[in-house]
Structure 1
Amino acid sequence: MSLTQTLTLLVMLLHLAGMLAAMHAVMHARTAQGAFAWAFGLALLPYLTLVPYLYLGRSHFQGYITLHRVHQRRLSQAALRGERTEVPEPCAPYAALTRMLGNNFHGGQRVQLLVNGDATFEAIIKAIAQAEQCILMQFFIIHDDALGRRVQHALLERAAAGVKVFVLFDGIGSHALPEQYVETLRRGGVAIHPFATQRFSNRFQLNFRNHRKIVVVDGWVGFLGGLNVGDEYLGLSPPLAPWRDTHLQVSGPAVLDLQRSFAVDWHWVTGELPPILPVRPAQGDTYTLIAATGPADPQESCSLYFTTVINAARKRLWLTTPYFVPDQAVMSALRLAVLRGVDVRVLIPSRPDHRTVFLASTLHAYDAIRAGIRIFRYQPGFIHEKVILIDDDGASVGSMNLDNRSFRLNFEVGALNVDRAFAERVESMLLEDFSRAVEVKRDEYRKAPYWRRLAMHLARLCDPIL
């Protein structure tokens, strides 16, 4: 066979593989937009799209789904045993979330707003130092830098004291974490694993990332929010410094749901369950719902979480996000909120950490402004916080971004809190943030050079995988 014939055969086989992959995308992509984008690219340009599709396109991982649902059902039954399941009256606007998530609002929680990286890791490291039984820790990113080594030292000290320590990190988000860092923890008695991309014969696609940030100490105090373990989250790494982010500390029975979320992920990686410690009564005034969402859920739970929270607003909806790439359902909910007379404000960065996402966000911001949504750009540094303020008594803090990756591809966790006093603290924090922002006008898009506007529209084509 000649070289020309060989190349012709290879091209034909590649196009055949592209067509088969396109059929697979049409049948299995989670959204019509994603199905169209993949099918179009695979059919016409398999040379460029076939390999990325093998890593990014598959949306089913049946082994994890089965395990996830079995444990969610089992742990939910244990958590709800002996508890009333009706939704408290102040939480009634969010009743759909309790049914979707299989969780209750827990009353009497003590919650503390941790308004920046220094406050967050001071509280986390202090709680770790006081641990007596068990520490569960999960982050999307762990760096081997000054903060990473502080956390490492704190964990090793507690492990040496006989405390059981379990650590998960995302294998993609923490790709730069040296093996030596991990081995040092293992030698010191810490059980630590990456959230693996493979388990047995079931390939867990690179596209699906565990973006959760969870710390639980002794089953009693928990932490969640937007911060990872790295010096940049303390504002020490230009050019994005100062870094603006927010975390939440929770004490009380709601922490059980953080333990449950960690336990399911840990079991997927190791085949074992970590200790799940009994809950204790709290001495607070907040109702808290823990929302652990992800692509293994029967519903598109993260997108529905945003939609439900937005639809609940009657007077005010203030939202901060580093990536403003809403899907059609969330954008429609925001538009309807404006039509109801709700004060809708969205705070986004003025500096990009991902150029493509930033360009797509700029176009979405222009569309939002035309719908009456007020958009602000934070000026001092990069804003990474994921906070929602709803009316006078609702506030959400978590890891969820307002983009398709969080909606459909990432495992996320957030806490929806109903309490007027806590909402007032969130309001004060956001007022300070908005005071350091400038409002975006339509001219940001209209007066941009043609090539930049074209780049925005091209970037928006990538919405399904941003």
Structure 2
Amino acid sequence: MLTTLIGTLVVMLHVAGVLAAMHAVMNTRTPQGAFAWALGLVLLPYVTLVPYLYLGRSRFHGYVDLHRLRREQMQTLANTQLSAGPAAPGACARYGEIAHMLGAQFHEGQQLRLLVNGEATFNAILRVIGEARHCVLVQFFIIHDDLLGRRLQQVLLERVRAGVEVCVLYDGIGSHALPHQFVQTLQDAGVHIHPFATQRRSNRFQLNFRNHRKIVVVDGTRGFVGGLNVGDEYLGMKPPLSPWRDTHLEIEGPAVADLQRSFAEDWHWVTGALPPLRPARPGPGSAHTLIVATGPADRQETCSLFFVAAIHAARRRLWITTPYFVPDQAVMSALRLAVFRGVDVRVLIPSRPDHHAVFLASGLYAHDAVRAGIRVFRYQPGFVHEKVLLVDDDTASVGSMNLDNRSFRLNFEIGALSVDRDFASQVEAMLQEDFEHAHEVTEAEYLKAPYLRRLAMHVARLFDPVL
């Protein structure tokens, strides 16, 4: 009897695995991902079936329909309240395909402030929020109920009690540990706060399509974007990853209107309404800035294409920092071609893991990169989480995008691509110091690693479509 029951269960698992494999073949975005899921589901449904329920879904019709069918309508409503000023005239032609792909534009006259660590970032964010007079828009992937989270909570409570309208979005997956009481305290005071999810009905099996964006806009005039979330670890207060190395950006000028538009699109999906929006002021600076908002609901794989286009634009120098170096074939090919053009291509990655599987896969990609002539460095003092790109002497990007499949195809991301020699020189100085605190990866790192570690690297890379 027991044997019959076990046999029936095994057959049912294999049937379910085959059905799930058919779903994966029809719906997974990449052939590599479809093959990896299908193979695992057919051969090892006992191991892969449950993870597929959580990670395998690649379509979310509700959000896609809203994003594509109502986006223009929502932006028309937003545009009645936002005025972003004229487009930058011809100064950014090298990146015209990125702007065209995103339906966005470069804005001239931005004043940019590079924020090179967590302390500088949150001192600036909390100070500017504390000066708010009309409205505050806040969006983070992770908000923790710790010292930094409570500092943010207090400044938001102070502003809403002063009559400022405050709207907060946090990702329901990234902030899964955020206590209900933390949220309730803000709601009771009058803060509008909601978790982001791609489906309005809760789906406990849906872990993909995370909103990885980090946006703060105050009174429509000052905006922040970058790699930092709200948590003590981002201030370097949690070993063994401390000190935490990250970068954020403060923007003042017409491009802030596009940060508001991105926030408004996500807010509209969650609430069905627009947040308070205010026109951005003419910028007092010299930078031309394009807000790059990408996501899995776009018709194109906009994040991957953004990196490909930016890499192809490089003629002298291309420096990239990323915590997760798991590039797809298009990005890796673009990096190789940049080397053949004589570009100084450097990639800065961590020397310590926060996600072991990704770290192992990154090590193998680093080896492949070094063999292709790409210089790869491992940051030594702590964990490097910054997402920065420097092109030649005049262009830099600061944002939330990693060089991995999640950012390319599964996450909602945002960054700011800026063309300005003064700003690029600041980014160059910052990255130069980072490289001085790193050691260069050689082929020996892989070749001298124990066999089992090298095997683990190759196994991890098999799963890079879902890492």
Q: Deviations over 1:19-48 (max 9, x none)?
A: 111111111110000000111111111122
Report what 2:48 is aligned to: 49
Report what 1:305 is aligned to: 306
Shift of 1:410: 0.7
Q: Which runs of 5+ in 2 are unaligned?
A: none
Report what 2:242 is aligned to: 241
Report what 1:8 is aligned to: 7
Shift of 1:205: 2.4
For residues 428 and 207 of structure 1, the distance between their equivalents in structure 2, rounded to whole angstroms, comes to 36
Letter in structure 2 aligned against 1:268: W
Report what 2:406 is aligned to: 405
Report what 2:17 is aligned to: 18
For residues 386 and 86 of structure 1, the distance between their equivalents in structure 2, rounded to whole angstroms, comes to 26
Q: Deviations over 1:273-295 (max 9, x none)?
A: 21221222111111100011111
Residue aligned with 1:210, SS: coil
Report what 1:463 is aligned to: 464
Letter in structure 1 aligned against 2:376: I
Q: Is the 8 A contact 1:246 1:385 kept in 2?
A: yes
Q: Is the 8 A contact 1:198 1:204 kept in 2?
A: no
Residue aligned with 2:223, SS: strand
Shift of 1:173: 1.0
Distance 1:83 1:183, change over 3 A: closer
Shift of 1:69: 2.3
For residues 249-268 of structure 1, what are the structure 2 equivalents within 5 Å? Answer: 249-268=250-269
Report what 2:382 is aligned to: 381
Residue aligned with 2:418, SS: strand
For residues 105 and 207 of structure 1, the distance between their equivalents in structure 2, rounded to whole angstroms, comes to 30
Report what 2:67 is aligned to: 68
For residues 271 and 449 of structure 1, the distance between their equivalents in structure 2, rounded to whole angstroms, comes to 55
Q: Is the 8 A contact 1:208 1:411 kept in 2?
A: yes
Distance 1:86 1:264, change over 3 A: closer
Q: Is the 8 A contact 2:139 2:170 kept in 1?
A: yes
For residues 403 and 69 of structure 1, the distance between their equivalents in structure 2, rounded to whole angstroms, comes to 25
For residues 83 and 193 of structure 2, the distance between their equivalents in structure 1, rounded to whole angstroms, comes to 34
Shift of 1:204: 8.2
Q: Is the 8 A contact 1:387 1:395 kept in 2?
A: yes
For residues 440 and 138 of structure 2, the distance between their equivalents in structure 1, rounded to whole angstroms, comes to 38
Q: Is the 8 A contact 2:60 2:199 kept in 1?
A: no
The runs of 4+ residues in structure 1 deviating greater than 4 Å are 75-87, 201-204
> Are 1:137 and 2:135 an aligned pair?
no
Q: Is the 8 A contact 1:196 1:204 kept in 2?
A: no
Q: Deviations over 1:240-289 (max 9, x none)?
A: 11110000001111111111111111122222221221222111111100
Q: Is the 8 A contact 1:61 1:203 kept in 2?
A: no
Shift of 1:12: 2.3
Q: Is the 8 A contact 2:88 2:108 kept in 1?
A: no
Q: Is the 8 A contact 1:393 1:419 kept in 2?
A: yes
Q: Is the 8 A contact 2:169 2:196 kept in 1?
A: yes
Distance 1:340 1:287, change over 3 A: same
Shift of 1:10: 3.0
TM-score by length of 2: 0.96
Q: Is the 8 A contact 1:133 1:163 kept in 2?
A: yes
Report what 1:30 is aligned to: 29
For residues 326-345 of structure 1, what are the structure 2 equivalents within 5 Å? Answer: 326-345=327-346
Distance 1:402 1:198, change over 3 A: same
Distance 1:244 1:102, change over 3 A: same
Q: How many residues align?
A: 465
- Superposition RMSD on alpha carbons, in Å? 1.8
Shift of 1:213: 0.5
Report what 1:169 is aligned to: 170
For residues 105 and 198 of structure 1, the distance between their equivalents in structure 2, rounded to whole angstroms, comes to 32
Identity of aligned residues (%): 70
For residues 286 and 165 of structure 2, the distance between their equivalents in structure 1, rounded to whole angstroms, comes to 31
Letter in structure 2 aligned against 1:69: R
Letter in structure 1 aligned against 2:122: F
For residues 64 and 88 of structure 1, the distance between their equivalents in structure 2, rounded to whole angstroms, comes to 34
Q: Is the 8 A contact 1:71 1:264 kept in 2?
A: no
Letter in structure 2 aligned against 1:175: H
Shift of 1:82: 8.3
For residues 200 and 382 of structure 1, the distance between their equivalents in structure 2, rounded to whole angstroms, comes to 36
Shift of 1:388: 0.3
Q: Is the 8 A contact 2:322 2:349 kept in 1?
A: yes
Residue aligned with 2:213, SS: coil
For residues 204 and 101 of structure 1, the distance between their equivalents in structure 2, rounded to whole angstroms, comes to 30
